[in-house]
Amino acid sequence: MLTYSNSLSVEDYCELRSSVGWTPLIEAQARSGLEHSDFVISCREGTHTVGCARVFWDKGYIAYLADVMVLPAYQRQGIGKRLVSECIRYVDAQLKDGWKIKIVIVSTKGREKFYERFGFTIRPNDKEGAGMNMWREA
Ligand SMILES: CC(C)(COP(=O)(O)OP(=O)(O)OC[C@H]1O[C@@H](n2cnc3c(N)ncnc32)[C@H](O)[C@@H]1OP(=O)(O)O)[C@@H](O)C(=O)NCCC(=O)NCCS
């Protein structure tokens, strides 16, 4: 049975990153990122963590959706959809009268359609350029 909770260990987070082929992080940095997330959601089957997602919010108008990951063997079973839905629900719960919050996601290549289903718009488009990012390293 799948269960969802707001806890996620550093070990499980790093295992998820590795399972989807993302850049490994040293434990201290992974821990810091998790501790400073505004919202974390994870999915477990028994004690095995099979998916996660998290949100950072500036307490104003920008929220960033990050680390949406589902173990390859558990993909296409609706887990990612539930994880992202919970993140959007978290952001919606922060809205006050007259507020608007923009949720930003940098989609991995080929996953854009997954996000479009929630209402995210693909960039670049008529009004917005491509999303951009860069890594800085010590
Ligand atoms: C992207 C990811 C989180 C999706 O998780 P998932 O659990 O497989 O997704 P779901 O099963 O909840 O799928 C939800 C819907 O999106 C669709 N979908 C899932 N992956 C898709 C893809 N790669 N392309 C297009 N549609 C996709 C499903 O068919 C489903 O459609 P439905 O609601 O009509 O049935 C997962 O593929 C993953 O972890 N990928 C590796 C890490 C990654 O790239 N994460 C995205 C970071 S930006």
The model's pLDDT over 14-60, given as tens digits with 9 standing for 90+, comes to 999 999 999 999 999 999 999 999 999 999 999 999 999 999 999 99
- Could you tell me the distance, in angstroms and rounded to a whole number, from the CA of residue 39 to the centre of ligand 1? 20
Domain assignment of residue 108, yes or no: yes
Buried (b) or exposed (e) across 26-62, using 16+ Cβ within 10 A? eeeebeebbeebbbbbbbbeeeebbbbbbbebeeeee
pLDDT value, residue 18: 98
Q: Measuring from atom 7 of ligand 1, which residue has the nearest CA?
A: 80
Under the banding of pLDDT at 50, 70 and 90, the label for residue 101 is very high
Domain assignment of residue 13, yes or no: yes
Taking all residues of the chain, what is their mean pLDDT, rounded to a whole number? 97
Domain assignment of residue 30, yes or no: yes
Domain assignment of residue 36, yes or no: yes
DSSP-assigned beta bridge partners for residue 45: 2, 48
- Could you tell me the distance, in angstroms and rounded to a whole number, from the CA of residue 9 to the centre of ligand 1? 23
CATH number of domain containing 50: 3.40.630.30
Domain containing residue 97: 2-116
Domain assignment of residue 131, yes or no: no
In the β-sheet with 62-70, what is the strand arrangement from edge to edge? 2-5, 39-45, 48-57, 62-70, 102-104
Q: Between 27-35 and 10-19, two packed helices, what is the crossing angle to 10 degrees?
A: 110
- Could you tell me the distance, in angstroms and rounded to a whole number, from the CA of residue 47 to the centre of ligand 1? 22
Beta strands at 48-57 and 62-70: parallel, antiparallel or unpaired: antiparallel
Ligand 1 binding site (Cβ under 6 Å of any ligand atom)? 20, 68-70, 75-81, 105, 107-108, 110-111, 113-114, 117
Domain assignment of residue 127, yes or no: no
Domain assignment of residue 125, yes or no: no
Under the banding of pLDDT at 50, 70 and 90, the label for residue 111 is very high
For tokens 């296409």, name the residue.
76
Percent of the chain residues topping a pLDDT of 70: 100
Q: How many domains does the chain have?
A: 1
